[in-house]
Structure 1
Amino acid sequence: MKKIIFSLMAALFVTISFAKNEDDKVVKIKTTAVCEMCKARIERTLGLSKGVKESNLNLKDKVVTVKYNPKKTTPEAIMATIINTGYDADGQLANKKAHDKLPDCCKKTVAPH
């Protein structure tokens, strides 16, 4: 009897966790990140943002892929987070004060390294 109840509870848990993931969306945003420090900074900041499930910045093409809950955030809010971190996002210019506070190696005028 205990095995049947445990099996039913496990099946219910798996069903609920899959149902939650179906609502998630993905957005890809072009940035001006140039190094591993940029990658860490953007991913950390996005990770602290409400509704963002995960983010991954590909430094080769400078595109950050963000998986998010559309009930809690929007692509515009995600872009605003990147902009306020000091990086351009899909052609929208970075917040100047935030960009000026970045280490010299992370500024957009620096060659990728």
Structure 2
Amino acid sequence: MKKIALIWAFLMIGFYTFADNPAIVKIKTSAVCSMCKERIEKKLAFTKGVKDVNLNLEDKVVTVTYNAKKTSVDALKKVIAETGYDADDVQKDETSHSKLPSCCQKSSTGMKH
């Protein structure tokens, strides 16, 4: 009986580990400075299902670790676009983009803050 209980426990641990296996996506953005980085990371961090976010300003790629059962790549791109930035093939929301500081807008020279 103990063997059955032990096997059952290992199966359940394995199931929960597999079920919560996070997905990772890399999304190219139009971010140009540290304020962009802070804005995008904060917005994504508060998105349901997101576990970790890191925007590399050198290549303008945001890496998102997320739970695929709670959100999707399309939803993550939409959050970035609604924040005012391009996200791969999803174009920025023009209204949000126009409200960004001038240094954060796509046409910026990329000044560092």
TM over 0.5: yes
The 3-state SS of whatever aligns with 1:82 is helix
**Which residues of 2 match residues 1-113 of structure 1 at below 5 A?**
19=17, 23-113=21-111
What do you get for the CA RMSD once the two structures are aligned? Answer: 1.9
Instruction: Provide the identity percentage.
Output: 49
Does the Cα contact within 8 Å between 2:78 and 2:90 map onto a contact in 1?
no
CA distance in 2, matches of 1:48, 1:64: 15
Unaligned runs of 5+ in 2: 1-9
Q: How many residues align?
A: 99
The 3-state SS of whatever aligns with 2:58 is coil
Give the ranges of 4+ consecutive aligned residues of structure 1 lying more than 6 Å apart after TM superposition. Answer: none
The 3-state SS of whatever aligns with 1:78 is helix
CA distance in 1, matches of 2:90, 2:49: 22
Amino acid at match of 2:103: C
Q: CA deviation at 1:91?
A: 3.0
Aligned CA distance change for structure 1 residues 43 and 26 (closer, same or farther; 3 Å): same
Partner of 1:6: none
Normalised to the residue count of structure 2, the TM-score between the two structures is: 0.81
Aligned CA distance change for structure 1 residues 88 and 72 (closer, same or farther; 3 Å): same
Does the Cα contact within 8 Å between 2:48 and 2:71 map onto a contact in 1?
yes
Normalised to the residue count of structure 1, the TM-score between the two structures is: 0.81
Does the Cα contact within 8 Å between 2:51 and 2:65 map onto a contact in 1?
yes
